[in-house]
Every structure is written in structure tokens, then in C-alpha cells.
Amino acid sequence: AYISTNFRGYEDTGFFLQDAYISVAGFMVGRNFTTFCDLSAVPTTVDFEGPNGYTTLYNEMIRYTYTFNDHWKIAVAAEMPSASITPTAATSTVSQRMPDFPLYAQYSWNKGLSHVRASAVLRNLYYFDDAMDDVRSRFGWGVQFSGEWQLCNRLTLYGQGIYGKGIAAYIQDIAGTGLDLLPVAGDPTNLQTPEMGSWIGGLQYTFSPKWTATAAYSGVKVAAPADYYQADLYNLAHYLSTNVFYNISPSCQAGISYMYGSRKNLDNHLGHANRIQALLQYNF
């Protein structure tokens, strides 16, 4: 059994439950990172949220993982869905009625220090048709290829690519922004799943047991449907992070990071920002 929480100003209370689950005989029941997330495929960053294309989503779930040997394992899960839609005057939100179904197959080598993973997620997105007084649904899906490769004792490469339709909930930068379902122009009772994707590339270099540096580049793209236009619709964003960590002691670590981010809307309006961030962490 495992539980973890933080107090990072979530909503009004400041309290946020990250994980709370029980694992036994390959089954995991409770709240955890989505099965669609490859936790090891992204380098460590000072930024708590990490790259904008990352799948940092916590879901309640039932997951089964089967390990064949030192190289192969698979997993499949049923997870409580998180959907954010853009309704019209003739549609409205409704509670989701079917779990999302993520799954993956992973091959590891080099004593588990390197791996590649192929993942997929299948989902049914529900909304309410006010004119017909009925619930309607649209099918969403996504695929992901990810992994980490330790090239030598000091250098590790990371990569991740995601593509799908109606999977905004699984991409950090656009989760909760109404992009899982968008309206169809000229048909106020019809919603559609837009195409979207994200990518991450990164590396980590260990100079010594005390000093480590990481870098990550990430992007998110939303392909607006041809029959839907909104000037401030999210179109393309980039994220760059460079980080240096110093191990003061086995229990204490310090880090500093420079980050750059940009976002372009559908009307080509562009904004960007720079940030320097630091941390001091003590483990016990």
C-alpha cells in the first residue's frame, strides 16, 4: 500500500492527494499516474510539472501488470475518465459513463536502465444533446512511443511522442481546456474529437556523484478542425528546460533551472516567457 500527498495550493485547500493505492499479485487498485504515462521517459527537471507535452495525469483505476521476464512486460487498465469539452448553446457536459482503457507493452535491457514502450488509450467521450434530450458520445484514441536509452555510464537519452484524437486530458498543457471535444460549425448539436499530439526529447549527463545536468525540449500541437474557428484556440506551444543538480549529501539535493516557453494561438498571436527556478530538497 502507498500514499503520497502535497500542499501545492490546489484549489482552495492547498491539499492534493497524488497517489493512494494497493498493489498485490500484479493488480493495482486506487489512484496513481495514468497507465498511459511512461514515468521514466522524461528527464528530471526542477520544474515540478515538467515538460508541457508530458502525460502527468492522476486517475483512479484498476490496473494489471504482467512481467514475462527481465525484458518484457505488459499492462492494461480501466481508469476513471477526465474529459473537458467545449459545449455549444445546444449541448452541455455530462458525467462520463465509461472508463478509459490504456495499455502498453515494454521491452527493457541493460538491467532495466534502458527501455522502449508502445502505449495506447481508448476512450468514449459523452456529452448531452439538449435538443434531443439524450446523451451522445464520440470515440477518442491515442498512441504513444516512448523510452530511455543509457548510452554510457554518464549519458542517458529520453524520448516520447503522442498522437491521437480527443486525448487532451492526457497532455499536460491542454488538459482541462475544453479540447477533448470541440463544436462542429453549422451543427450546434454535434461535437467532434480534434487531432492533437505532443513530443519530448531530453538527455541527462552525470558529471560526478555530486553533479548532474539535464535538458528537455517539448512541444504540443492541436490541429483545429477545418469547420471550427476560434481566434484564441490553442495551436502550438514549445517548452525548453535546462537543469543542474548538486547532491549536497545523500539526503539533500539542490537544483537550479532556466526555462523558456512559447504559445501560438489559431490566429497566430504569439506569447513567450522566461523563468529561472531553484529548489532545495531533503529526503528522509
Q: Is 234 exposed, middle or buried (0-12, 13-18, 19+ CB in 10 A)?
A: buried
Mean pLDDT by runs of 10 across the 284 residues of the chain is: 83 81 96 94 92 91 96 97 90 92 97 95 94 91 96 95 96 93 90 95 96 97 88 95 96 97 95 96 90
pLDDT at position 186 is 84
pLDDT at position 131 is 84
CA–CA dist 53, 60 (Å, integer): 21
Tell me the pTM: 0.90
136-167 burial, b for 16+ CB within 10 Å, e for fewer? ebbebebebbbbbbbeeeeebebbbebbbbbb
pLDDT at position 196 is 96
Q: CB 46: neighbour CB atoms within 10 A?
A: 23
pLDDT at position 128 is 93
pLDDT at position 239 is 97
